Amino acid sequence: MKAICLFFVLVSSLAAEPPAAPQKKLPLSGEVFLVAEHTAFIIPGKIDVTAKAKPWVWYAPTLPNLPGNEERWMFDQFIAAGIAIVGIDIGESYGSPAGRKLFTALYDEMTSQRGYSTKPVLMGRSRGGLMTLSWAAENPEKIAAFAGIYPVCDIASYPGIAKAAGAYGMTPDALRAHLDEHNPVARLTALAKARVPLFAIHGDADKLVPLAPNSAIVKERYTALGGTMELIIPAGQGHSMWEGFFQCQPLVDFVKKQATQP
């Protein structure tokens, strides 16, 4: 009787439906898939049959409602230039080692399995700056450039050490003691040596992610290290959905140029 029961359990498990496909609402048509059991997406660029490797922009943060319709204007331009938009939802990682590991899994998927360029442009919106720049600091040879929209560059500035510590598996005191090992503003040397160009647009009235300890200090330090960074500072603009942040032609031109470099 026991053997018969086990047989029926086995048959039932084999007949069970496969796991549901990952779901994500995107501002434009694309593919949603899993990488390391996390939801990822590709919004493909216009196909160029002459391209040796397909260029892509790596967007963060990819949370349930991001990217949103605000990005559609620039995404349309990327697509028309043959550049795909890609991302993976790693939750509120704040640039932690666990989040960086998932970024590496996405990079491997895109380059080894899907034939995309080995040097994408990283694009961080707000706290996406922590995610992208933290990974970039450890992988400068694997990126073409970084572009940010009011990007977070300093963990102490946002979300603050106390809030970020859990994502790092540390106490606040431990993260504070090891902050320079993880903080993008303290990890720019390798990027400068690799001559990775940076770009950011960041308002001077941003109270959530203040300009001075984030994009401004990155530009100051990066320039001192011999790196190049373009910083646009819209006067009177804060951490908002202001159209100028998302319809910034210089940002689009920068991404298109860097993503399509041979």
Domains, the chain, with CATH or none: 27-259 (3.40.50.1820)
Residue 9 pLDDT > 80: no
Kindly indicate the confidence band of residue 22, based on its pLDDT and cuts at 50, 70 and 90. confident
- Distance in angstroms (rounded) separating the CA atoms of residues 121 and 143: 6
Residue 81 pLDDT > 70: yes
Question: Which pair of structure tokens corresponds to residue 59?
Answer: 């967007």
Average pLDDT for residues 194-213, to the nearest whole number?
A: 98
pLDDT of residue 52: 74
For the four alpha carbons of 155, 159, 162 and 166, in that order, the dihedral sign comes to negative
Residue 10 pLDDT > 70: no
- Distance in angstroms (rounded) separating the CA atoms of residues 22 and 38: 9
Average pLDDT for residues 207-227, to the nearest whole number?
A: 98
Q: CB neighbours (10 Å) of residue 23?
A: 8
- Distance in angstroms (rounded) separating the CA atoms of residues 135 and 139: 6
pLDDT, tens digit, 9 for 90 and up, residues 127-139 = 999 999 999 999 9
Kindly indicate the confidence band of residue 64, based on its pLDDT and cuts at 50, 70 and 90. confident
pLDDT of residue 21: 67
Give CA separation, 180 vs 72, 140, 167, 174, 195, in Å. Answer: 35, 17, 16, 12, 21
pLDDT of residue 6: 43
pLDDT, tens digit, 9 for 90 and up, residues 96-154 = 999 999 999 999 999 999 999 999 999 999 999 999 999 999 999 999 999 999 999 99
The DSSP H or E segment spanning 231 is strand 229-232
